[in-house]
Every structure is written in C-alpha cells, then in structure tokens.
C-alpha cells in the first residue's frame, strides 16, 4: 500500500484544488500535531497522572477534568507562535485568546472543543478533540468576540481527532472528508480513507434516552416511531447506540450511517440543547454535509445559524439524510 501522509495530502490539496493556502496548511498541521500530543497524554492514563477532576469549573458550568485543562493548554501553546492565527476560542475559556504580541498574526480564527466526551475519560472509552477554522475579517488587528460570530457556512476547515482503539483525524477543507490514522511508531498521520460518505438511509439512531420525558413533541413522535419497529409507521427495526462522546458517535455515523440527536428539552428554555454551536455543532455539521449527510437544529440547517454568543448552545440532529429530513419535517409540521 502506498502511504500518503497528512503533509503530502495537504501539499497536493493546495496544488490541485487550491482549497487551502500555505497558512491554512500550516494551521492544520499544527492542530494535528497538538492532537498527537493529546493522544499520547490520553493513552498514558493513570501512568501519566492525567485522570480525574481538576476541581475547577469552566464557563459552561461544568467541573473540568484534568484532561480538559491539559488538552486546552496543548492546543493554545501549539498554535500561538506559528503566525497562522489571529486569535483562538475554546469551550474551556470564558472569552477569546489573543496571540501574544511577540508573535506575528495570521488570517485565521481557530475554535476548539479540546476534549470532547469528558465523562468517558476515567472509564477508558473513546474521547476526542473537535476544531473549526474561520477567516478573520480583513485587516483585523486584535479580533473581538464579535469577529468569531460567523455562520458555520463560512468555515474554511473543520475536523476532529478521535482517541479510541486507534487515534484518527477526520478532516474537511470543503473538498470532501478524509480520514487519517495515527501511526504511533512513525509518529505520523497516514491517509486511510478518502471521501467518506454517510449512507442516506439507516437503521441506527443515537440519543440519550434518559431525557425522553423532557423532549418536545416532534422528537417524542420521531423516536416513538423508531422504537415501534417493523410493525410501526417506519416499517423497519432500528438499533440504538449512545457513546456519550459526540466525536465517537459522529465517527460511527460517518463510517456506517445513523442519526445523532441532542435535542433541546422542556426543562430549561434558556438553554436550547446541550451542545455548543461554535465548538461542536458547526464543525460536525460541516463534516457531515461534506460527507453527503445533513445537520439541522430541527428548524433549519445548522450551518446557516447566525451566532449571537460564543458559547451558544443548539439542538442538534445530524447524520443520514433521510432520517434528518424526517425529524426536521416533524418540527415543521
Ligand atoms: P464535552 O465533554 O466536550 O463537554 O461534551 C460532552 C457532550 C458530547 O460529547 C456528548 O454527545 C454529550 O455531551 C453527552 O451528554 P450526556 O452525558 O447528556 O449523554
Ligand atoms: Mn465540557
Ligand atoms: Mn464536547
Ligand atoms: Mn469538551
């Protein structure tokens, strides 16, 4: 098998499709290198003293795990000096991070969920990192939070790393979705799947069923119909999976199809859903659409949402197109 490294893939991408320039290529390499470091930390577990809680709270009101903090630091440190960024934002930080004045600034904004699936860290189940890249407004000196509030459709790249039995990097620069596997001996990312496509039809869904009593009627109806199986209105039996790490659930769907839902619920109308638009929903929506799937908030395309807050939350329905269309249609009806 001819091995194509991430570096070679990016160079060829720049040459053939011009979907990236040298600065974006550097950015992606730096993020991928940071994910490699996170992967090594994750895999050390107790031996690296990385498990457990950090006893601090983030802006989301969540108790931070040690790995939430470590991964955030790794990404900040790796990305501040290369000259490719104008500023960064993270799930774990209250406001945006400027590039220190001793370094040159670049044309991109980087947003990340440094460690996704925190509740799975201590039980040795798949976790990940999610990132999104936007262009900074022209001629920008010190970007403000406002400059980050761009619709997901303007993302120039998005991706995630999943730290599972294998460590993988899934990437899109708007020209399909490609998957790289970390070769630990060589320390390099090797292209292992090009042009990932989500099957349009599926018999698998992912949702945290423990919240069922709180769902809005369209979601109640949709899931009831899935559970009714082959004798119900959908005429087929559905299986269910819920890892509780969005990266792992999305990676399964990208690999073999499925529909993922984290809906809003009736408990707290000030908090529409759990997942964050800028760090989770937007990058995953870009990847899913690039792989032929769909992603909505129940009302419309996630990528069309005009953000109003950096840490904004949204309901999420994504994956195989037929199913996302059905559940989105129930919201309209
Ligand atoms: P994070 O660990 O970055 O805070 O994100 C966790 C998210 C997401 O990964 C997952 O789909 C969801 O929370 C799981 O939520 P439940 O614990 O409610 O199932
Ligand atoms: Mn979190
Ligand atoms: Mn997350
Ligand atoms: Mn996180």
Residue 220 to residues 209, 236, 263, 322, Cα–Cα distance (Å): 10, 18, 10, 18
Closest ligand 1 atom number to CA of residue 118:
2
**88-97 mean pLDDT:** 98
pLDDT for 183-205, tens place per residue? 999 999 999 999 999 999 999 99
Q: Which pLDDT score, from 0 to 100, does residue 269 have?
A: 82
Characterise 188 by phi-psi region: left (phi > 0), alpha (psi -120 to 50), beta (else).
beta
Closest ligand 1 atom number to CA of residue 242:
19
From 42, 118, 253, the mutation candidate for ligand 1 (largest count of ligand atoms within 8 A of CB) is 118
List the residue whose alpha carbon is closest to atom 15 of ligand 1.
244
pTM strictly above 0.90: yes
Domains along the chain?
6-193 (3.30.540.10), 204-331 (3.40.190.80)
Residue 18 predicted with pLDDT over 90: no
Q: Which pLDDT score, from 0 to 100, does residue 245 have?
A: 98
What is this model's ipTM?
Answer: 0.99
Binned at pLDDT 50, 70 and 90, residue 133 comes out as very high
CB 244 within 8 A of CB 275: no
Q: Which pLDDT score, from 0 to 100, does residue 158 have?
A: 98
Q: Which pLDDT score, from 0 to 100, does residue 139 have?
A: 81
Nearest to 327 by CA among 261, 269, 272, 277: 261
Cβ-proximal residues to 217 (8 Å cutoff; 6+ apart), any chain: none
Decide: helix, strand or coil at residue 57.
strand
Helix H or strand E segment including 25: helix 22-44
Decide: helix, strand or coil at residue 302.
helix
Q: Would the CB of 59 count as within 6 Å of ligand 1?
A: no
Q: Would the CB of 246 count as within 6 Å of ligand 1?
A: yes
pLDDT for 203-216, tens place per residue? 999 999 999 999 99
Q: Rounded to the nearest 10 degrees, how much is the dihedral formed by the CA atoms of 233, 235, 236, 238?
A: 0
Residue 1 predicted with pLDDT over 80: no
Decide: helix, strand or coil at residue 56.
strand
């Amino acid at each position: 098998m001819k091995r194509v490294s991430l570096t070679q893939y990016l160079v060829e991408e720049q040459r053939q499709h011009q979907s990236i320039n040298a600065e974006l290529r550097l950015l992606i390499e730096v993020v991928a290198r940071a994910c490699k470091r996170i992967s090594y930390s994750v895999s050390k577990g107790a031996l690296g003293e990385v498990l457990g809680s950090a006893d601090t709270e983030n802006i989301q009101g969540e108790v931070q795990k040690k790995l939430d903090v470590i991964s955030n630091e790794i990404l900040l440190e790796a990305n501040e000096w290369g000259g490719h960024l104008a500023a960064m934002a993270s799930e774990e930080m209250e406001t945006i991070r400027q590039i220190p004045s001793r370094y040159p600034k670049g044309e991109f904004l980087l947003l990340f969920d440094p460690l996704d699936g925190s509740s799975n860290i201590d039980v040795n189940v798949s976790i990940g990192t999610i990132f999104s890249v936007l262009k900074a407004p022209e001629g920008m000196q010190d970007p403000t939070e406002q400059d980050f509030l761009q619709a997901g459709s303007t993302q120039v790249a998005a991706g995630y790393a999943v730290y599972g039995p294998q460590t993988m990097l899934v990437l899109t620069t708007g020209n399909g979705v490609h998957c790289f596997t970390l070769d630990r001996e060589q320390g390099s990312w090797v292209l292992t799947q090009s042009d990932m496509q989500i099957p349009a039809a599926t018999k698998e869904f992912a949702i945290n069923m423990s919240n069922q009593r709180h769902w809005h009627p369209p979601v109640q109806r949709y899931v009831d119909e899935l559970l009714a199986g082959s004798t119900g209105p959908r005429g087929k039996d559905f299986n269910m999976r819920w890892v509780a790490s969005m990266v792992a659930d999305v990676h399964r769907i990208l690999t073999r199809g499925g529909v993922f839902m984290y809906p809003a619920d009736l408990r707290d109308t000030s908090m529409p859903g759990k997942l964050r638009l800028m760090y989770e929903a937007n990058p995953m929506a870009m990847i899913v659409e690039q792989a032929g799937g769909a992603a909505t908030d129940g009302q419309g395309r996630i990528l069309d949402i005009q953000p109003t807050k950096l840490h904004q939350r949204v309901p999420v329905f994504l994956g195989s197109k037929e199913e996302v269309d059905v559940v989105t249609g129930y919201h309209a009806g």
